[in-house]
Homo-oligomer: A and B are copies of this chain.
Amino acid sequence: MEVLVPFSTECPKSRLSTVLDPAERATFARAMLSDVLDAVAAAGGEPRVLATGPVDAVVDCPVEIDDRPLTTAVNAALADRRAAADRPVGIVMADLAIATPSALRGLFETVERSADVSIAPGRGGGTNALAVEHAEFRVDYHGASYCDHRRIADEIDATVSVIDSHRLATDVDEPADLAEVLIHGDGAAAAWLRDVGITLDDSGGRVGVERV
């Protein structure tokens, strides 16, 4: 399955500004992208980066540049693919730093075997990963997109499978999310965080992070 991995090259991960400076956030975002591309490939997907601008990193897969907003760019890519071939398409966010091949395989296989649309919800109502085998399905990433995607699927009578995965539900946007990467991650993003001195801080309720 071809799997689009949308990636913003402009000021990525601004909500991490309390712990990482702009250059660090850009480096960390590329480390997460690398981990996601590896996981997609290991799950049997064929990743393609859908970037807002040139990606100044070596990635071992095609890169397509589209500077339009996320929803517009993904819908244009979905329409292109569906017009060219009747094959399912995946869309996996570039900041799923603890995604595993087995979790992604579950997402892909559900659509290859049965459902028209397979959705992995993100924490806070987002949509972290999708697999689509339905010509009319389109995305809308604004707001509580998980609820919107369920509604859009209902409106076109598409069957939906929801993937219950903590690893796919964890997109990395806020400092608390870095704790998940340190606890569960074993790729480039986790290694980079450790290198720059981000460590677990268990002085509060849930474990967070501190920089030492």
Contacts and interface: CB of A to CB of B under 8 A. Distances in A.
Interface in A87-137: 100, 102-103, 121, 123-126
Query: Which of A123, A174, A184: most chain B Cβ within 10 A?
Result: A123
Interface in A139-182: 143-144, 146-147, 164-170, 173-174, 176, 179-180
Contacts of A59: none
A136 to B, nearest CB: 24
Contacts of A26: none
A146 B202 contact: no
A143 B183 contact: no
A206 B103 contact: no
A207 interface: yes
Contacts of A167: 164
B166 A206 contact: no
B202 A143 contact: yes
Contacts of A183: 121, 125, 144, 146-147
B143 A206 contact: no
Nearest to A167: B164
A89 to B, nearest CB: 23
Contacts of A207: 124-126, 143-144
B164 A206 contact: no
Interface in A186-200: 200
A68 interface: no
A172 B174 CA distance: 18
